[in-house]
Amino acid sequence: MRITFVGAGRVATHLAKAFQSQHQIVQVFSRNLHHAQRLAAQVNAQAIDGVDQLNPQTDLVVVAVSDLVIPDVVEAIATFLPQCLIVHTSGSTNLSVVARKQQRAGVFYPLQTFSFEREVDWLETPLFVEAVTHEDLLLLTTLANSLSNRVYQYNSQQRQTLHLAAVFACNFSNYCYDMAQQVVDAEHVDFSLLFPLILETANKATRTNPKKMQTGPAMRGDQNILKMHQGLLAQSHRPDLEEVYRLMSDGIYKRHHSD
C-alpha cells in the first residue's frame, strides 16, 4: 500500500516507521517543511509542505494532526485526492468529521502514549478502526492486523469513551506521578524510591478490578492522616496540590463508602 502521512509528530513518526517494513511511505506533509524532512528521511519518503504537492497515486492518507485542525486539513486534501481513503488517528474525533469532506473516510486509532524517546510495542498496542464503507473497513482491518495482535472495529462513540478513559488512566495518572515528584523534591527525597510502588500499582490494575485494589487513608476514612497530609501541603504553600489531594480523597472515600 502507498501511504502518505499528514503531520510529522509523535503519532505520525511511530506509525510511519512501523508501516515502512511492509508498505511504501510515499510522502510526509507538514506545514513545517523541516519537520516533514526529518520524518521523511527516516522512512525514505518525499517531504512536502503544500497540499498541491500531494501524490495522486497515494492509496491512503493518514492525518495525524491535532483534533482542532483535522476538518480543515481533510477538506484541503479532499480537493486534490477526491478518490483516496483518508483516515485520522484521533481517539476523540468522530468519523463524520472526515466523512463530511470525503466519501472514503475512516479512523485508524492506536490506543497508546507516544514519545520520541521510546519505541512502541505494536504487537500489544490496541488498534481501533472505523470506516464509512465495508470495503474500506476491511482494508483498514487488514492494515491494522499487519501491526498488532489486538485490532477492534469500534464506532466513534465507543472510541470516544475509550479515549476519555485513557485520559484518566494515562494523562491524569502521569500528572499524579508529577505531583508526587514535586512533593519529594521539595524535601530532597529520591523520587526513584517510589518506582516499585508505582510499578506494583500499575501491575495490579492490569490484573484485577482497580476498585478492589484500592488502599490508603482515604479509602479507610482515616481523617487524622488526611488532615496531616493536607497540613503538610498547606505548610509547603502548595494550594494546588492540596486541592487535588482533597478532591481525590473525597472521591475515593465516596467510591468505597457510598453503599
Instruction: Express each pLDDT in 145-199 by its tens digit.
Output: 999 999 999 999 999 999 999 999 999 999 999 999 999 999 999 999 999 999 9
Report d(CA 108, CA 66) in Å as an integer.
14
Report d(CA 60, CA 42) in Å as an integer.
19
Tell me the average pLDDT across 56-81: 96
Nearest to 151 by CA among 166, 163, 139: 139
Does pLDDT of 259 surpass 70? no
Report d(CA 23, CA 36) in Å as an integer.
18
Report d(CA 170, CA 110) in Å as an integer.
14
Task: Give the position of cell 468522530.
Answer: 94
pLDDT value at position 18?
A: 96
Predicted confidence band of residue 258 (pLDDT cuts 50, 70, 90): confident
Tell me the average pLDDT across 28-32: 95
Task: Give the residue range(s) of CATH 1.10.1040.20 domains in the chain.
Answer: 160-257
Report the share of the chain in percent with pLDDT over 90. Answer: 98
Class for domain 160-257, per CATH?
Answer: mainly alpha
Half-sphere exposure of 51 (CA within 13 A, CB side): 13
Task: Give the residue range(s) of CATH 3.40.50.720 domains in the chain.
Answer: 2-154
Q: Which residue type does 42 have?
A: Q
CB 102 within 8 A of CB 78: yes
Query: CA distances (Å), 210 to each of 9, 126, 128, 171, 215, in order?
Result: 33, 20, 24, 17, 10
Does pLDDT of 240 surpass 70? yes
Q: Which residue type does 229 have?
A: H
Report d(CA 9, CA 64) in Å as an integer.
8
Does pLDDT of 60 surpass 80? yes
Report d(CA 59, CA 111) in Å as an integer.
24
Q: Concatenated DSSP letters for 214-235?
A: --SHHHHT-HHHHHHHHHHHHH
First to last CA, the chain: 55
Does pLDDT of 85 surpass 70? yes
Tell me the average pLDDT across 20-42: 96
Q: Looking at the domain that runs over 2-154, which CATH code has it been given? A: 3.40.50.720
